[in-house]
């Protein structure tokens, strides 16, 4: 059937099905419900027969989810649903506001733009299992995050733990603050604990958890870093889950990047294996923005804004010199999101080099040729490079590729260049050669060789930690407050066991923790080539500045 090009005739009703409309002689009927692939979330009721979803308020005792403030191990037991305490909150009128509560049929589509005429039609409404690998199907959808009418956790027995892991990023304290305020104000939870210094804080005797309350966290959003502290490494699954059981936490909020999310998935599986009623919520933060599925992780936007300041300085330096090159190295271990977004938003950059796209220096299409031309045309150039770019190329050119990883690990820690040739940090992430220093030196050598009598300057700026050690910017604070305060933990309250909460299209969506591990390689290409693109650019070099 041919669709009517007049889209104003298609109306999507609240159940997600477009109403049939007769327009002239055509009947339009676009059924969303049998095209959308909805990603399943693991729910308490999937694992515990005793968990119910009745709509009546129950009077189950505090023992339902036994809190072990006495030090006893938490029992796995039945859990029944309760009416959301927001019902009695004087600041909300949930029952009178249409759409306040999220229902299971509220979804966030993975892509907002798609051509329904060219999508395969799915046989029936599909529920994707954990292992289905279909996130990029045009009609893939995730459950929308937000408050639910019925919840599974009882306030009096709720004991929440919040932990920040991995590297810093702007706004970590904001995330913690909003979680504390939401739990305290909206749900009257009084047992909220901050786990110190990342995953090791769960079990380490030297790191006592910090009890959190609104008074304590009131100005945390103005402070960079993480007051709870963070660390890499120290992930000992059994120790962590033993400690969680021992302390009686039944809601975990795990804030971190892709490595942290992998750890959260393992914790989730172990909790399931032990049949514990503990909800695990992952909240992706990282300046790298390399957590799959979501639009952007908490912290990314502020980091991009800070990176622009470095680019502006590099531009001023380059412009003020004869044949000046401003070179900025930005974070981004395996992805160039910061470099790319800072480049696109600054409009001062001539060339951006990212890990996803290999580059080379000499010959046709190489960096030297490009810069030669640019300097002749414009007198100066600005270069941005992501820290993970060109690592193999550098190793080959410097002979580092002949040093294997074991050799590198065995070198003295202070010998940074050797360690970087294959070393790993405590979490197992590769430690890199300094591509910025190397480029600066290669550029100088090239110019001396080719133009020995002409002036030339490379000003190298490395703002590495400056871009992530700042508090969140205004936009990020508002977004965190709006999305996390009202929406987040309602999902785990609802009995969902392992999920990732993240902003997408200005709303909160939730997906199975396992899916958070996907990197966002495709979206980098989309940023470069336009929406829907899956083609690699032919060259790393792309000009986007008017001369």
Is 286 a binding residue for ligand F6P by CB under 6 A? The answer is: yes
User: Within 29-101, where are the H helices?
Assistant: 44-47
How many CB atoms are closer than 10 A to CB 55? Answer: 9
Q: Which of 331, 389, 435, 497 binds ligand F6P (CB under 6 A)?
A: 331
Q: Whose Cβ is closer to ligand ATP: residue 348's or residue 387's?
A: 387
**# residues near ligand F6P by CB under 6 A:** 11
Query: 486 in helix, strand or coil?
Result: helix
Q: Is 36 left (phi over 0), alpha (psi -120 to 50) or beta?
A: beta
Q: What is the C-alpha separation between 292 and 302, in angstroms, rounded?
A: 19
Q: What is the C-alpha separation between 77 and 363, in angstroms, rounded?
A: 68
Select which of 135, 258, 288, 350 is catalytic.
288
Q: Which of 288, 348, 356, 491 binds ligand F6P (CB under 6 A)?
A: 288
Contacts of 444-448 spanning 24+ positions with Cβ under 8 A: 446/361, 446/368, 447/323
Q: Whose Cβ is closer to ligand F6P: residue 252's or residue 435's?
A: 435
Q: Whose Cβ is closer to ligand ATP: residue 193's or residue 298's?
A: 298
DSSP tag of 429: P
What is the distance, to the nearest Å, from the Cα of residue 71 to the centroid of all Cα atoms in its chain? Answer: 34
Q: How far is the CB of 233 from ligand ATP (least distance, A)?
A: 5
Is 231 a binding residue for ligand F6P by CB under 6 A? The answer is: no
Query: Which stretch, 21-29, 286-294, 376-384, 445-453, contacts ligand F6P (CB under 6 A)?
Result: 286-294
Query: Which stretch, 63-71, 176-184, 326-334, 535-543, contacts ligand F6P (CB under 6 A)?
Result: 326-334
Interacting residues with ligand ATP (CB under 6 A): 165-167, 198-199, 232-235, 256-260, 262-263, 266, 286, 288, 427, 429
Cα torsion for 441, 443, 448, 449, to the nearest 10°? 110
Q: What are the backbone angles phi and psi of residue 438, rounded to the nearest 5°? A: -65, -45
User: Within 248-366, where are the H helices?
Assistant: 258-273, 300-319, 337-346
Q: Whose Cβ is closer to ligand ATP: residue 182's or residue 234's?
A: 234
Is 425 a binding residue for ligand F6P by CB under 6 A? The answer is: yes
Query: First CA to last CA across the chain, in angstroms?
Result: 50
131 is catalytic: no
**What is the rounded radius of gyration, in angstroms, for the C-alpha atoms of the chain?**
26
468 touches, from ligand ATP, ligand F6P, none (C-beta below 5 to 8 Å by class): ligand F6P
How buried is residue 462: exposed, middle or buried, by Cβ count under 10 Å (0-12/13-18/19+)?
middle
Q: How far is the CB of 83 from ligand F6P (least distance, A)?
A: 41
Q: Whose Cβ is closer to ligand F6P: residue 411's or residue 457's?
A: 411
Q: Which of 145, 299, 332, 498 binds ligand F6P (CB under 6 A)?
A: 332
Q: Whose Cβ is closer to ligand F6P: residue 42's or residue 284's?
A: 284
Q: Whose Cβ is closer to ligand ATP: residue 235's or residue 493's?
A: 235
Binding mask 462-481 for ligand F6P (x = CB under 6 A): ------x-------------
137 touches, from ligand F6P, ligand ATP, none (C-beta below 5 to 8 Å by class): none
Contacts of 439-447 spanning 24+ positions with Cβ under 8 A: 439/327, 439/383, 439/385, 440/327, 442/361, 443/325, 443/327, 443/371, 446/361, 446/368, 447/323
Q: What is the C-alpha separation between 439 and 460, in angstroms, rounded?
A: 9
Is 167 a binding residue for ligand F6P by CB under 6 A? The answer is: yes
Strand partners, 382: 326
What is the distance, to the nearest Å, from the Cα of residue 111 to the centroid of all Cα atoms in its chain? Answer: 17
Q: How far is the CB of 313 from ligand ATP (least distance, A)?
A: 25
Q: Whose Cβ is closer to ligand ATP: residue 158's or residue 286's?
A: 286
Q: Which of 147, 257, 390, 423 binds ligand F6P (CB under 6 A)?
A: 257
Q: Whose Cβ is closer to ligand F6P: residue 229's or residue 533's?
A: 229
Residues 518, 519, 524, 529, CA torsion sign = negative
Among positions 365-394, residues that touch ligand F6P (CB under 6 A) are: 387
Q: How far is the CB of 431 from ligand ATP (least distance, A)?
A: 12
Do residues 350 and 374 make contact, with C-beta atoms less than 8 angstroms apart?
Answer: yes
64 touches, from ligand ATP, ligand F6P, none (C-beta below 5 to 8 Å by class): none
401 touches, from ligand ATP, ligand F6P, none (C-beta below 5 to 8 Å by class): none
- DSSP state string for 172-240: HHHHHHHHHHIIIIIH----EEEESSGGGGGT-TT-PPEE--HHHHTTGGGS-S-TT---S----HHHH
Query: Which stretch, 245-253, 284-292, 312-320, 503-511, contacts ligand F6P (CB under 6 A)?
Result: 284-292
Any idea what the Cα angle at residue 62 is, between residues 56 and 65, rounded to 5°? Answer: 90
Which residues are identified as catalytic? 288
Which stretches of the chain bind ligand F6P, using CB under 6 A?
167, 257, 286-288, 331-333, 387, 425, 468
């Amino acid at each position: 059937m041919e669709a009517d090009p007049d889209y104003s005739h298609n109306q999507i009703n609240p159940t997600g099905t477009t109403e049939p409309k007769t327009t002239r002689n055509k009947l339009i009927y676009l059924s969303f419900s049998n095209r959308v692939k909805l990603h399943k979330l693991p729910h308490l009721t999937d694992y515990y027969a005793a968990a119910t979803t009745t709509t009546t308020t129950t009077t189950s005792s505090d023992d339902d989810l036994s809190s072990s403030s006495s030090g006893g191990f938490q029992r796995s037991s039945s859990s029944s649903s309760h009416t959301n305490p927001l019902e009695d909150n004087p600041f909300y009128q949930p029952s009178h506001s249409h759409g306040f509560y999220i229902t299971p049929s509220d979804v966030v589509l993975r892509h907002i733009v798609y051509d329904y005429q060219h999508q395969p039609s799915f046989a029936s409404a599909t529920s994707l299992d954990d292992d289905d690998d279909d996130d990029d199907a045009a009609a893939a959808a995730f459950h929308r995050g937000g408050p639910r009418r019925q919840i599974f956790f009882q306030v009096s027995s709720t004991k929440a733990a919040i932990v920040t892991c991995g590297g810093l990023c702007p706004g970590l304290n904001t995330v913690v603050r909003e979680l504390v305020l939401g739990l305290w104000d909206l749900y009257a939870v009084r047992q909220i604990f901050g786990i110190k210094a990342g995953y090791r804080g769960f079990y380490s005797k030297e790191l006592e958890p910090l009890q959190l309350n609104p008074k304590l966290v009131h100005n945390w959003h103005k402070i960079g870093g993480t007051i709870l502290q963070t660390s890499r490494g120290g992930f000992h699954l059994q120790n962590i889950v033993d400690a969680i059981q021992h302390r009686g936490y039944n809601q975990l909020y795990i804030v971190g990047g892709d490595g942290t999310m992998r750890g959260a998935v393992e914790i989730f599986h172990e909790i399931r294996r032990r049949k514990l009623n503990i909800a695990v919520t992952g909240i992706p933060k990282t300046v790298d923005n390399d957590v799959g599925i979501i639009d952007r992780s908490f912290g990314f936007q502020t980091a991009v804004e800070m990176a622009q300041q470095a680019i502006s300085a590099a531009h001023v330096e380059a412009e003020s010199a004869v044949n000046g090159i401003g070179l900025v190295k930005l974070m981004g271990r395996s992805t160039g999101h910061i470099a790319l977004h800072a480049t696109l938003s600054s409009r001062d950059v001539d060339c951006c080099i990212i890990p996803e796209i290999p580059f080379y220096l000499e010959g046709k299409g190489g960096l030297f040729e490009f810069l030669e031309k640019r300097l002749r045309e414009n007198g100066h150039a600005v270069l941005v490079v992501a820290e993970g770019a060109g690592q193999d190329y550098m190793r080959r050119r410097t002979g580092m590729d002949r040093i294997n990883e074991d050799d590198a690990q065995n070198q003295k820690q202070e010998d940074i260049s050797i360690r970087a040739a294959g070393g790993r940090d405590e979490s197992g992430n590769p430690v890199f050669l300094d591509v910025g220093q190397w480029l600066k030196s290669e550029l100088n050598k090239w110019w001396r060789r080719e133009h020995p009598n002409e002036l030339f300057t490379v000003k190298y700026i490395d703002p590495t930690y400056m871009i992530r050690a700042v508090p969140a910017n205004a936009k990020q604070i508002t977004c965190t407050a709006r999305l996390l305060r009202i929406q987040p933990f309602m999902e785990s309250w609802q009995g969902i066991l392992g999920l990732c909460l993240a902003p997408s299209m200005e709303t909160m969506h939730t997906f199975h923790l396992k899916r958070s591990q996907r990197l966002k390689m495709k979206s980098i290409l989309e940023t470069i080539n336009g929406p829907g693109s899956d083609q690699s650019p032919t060259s790393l070099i792309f000009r986007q500045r008017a001369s």
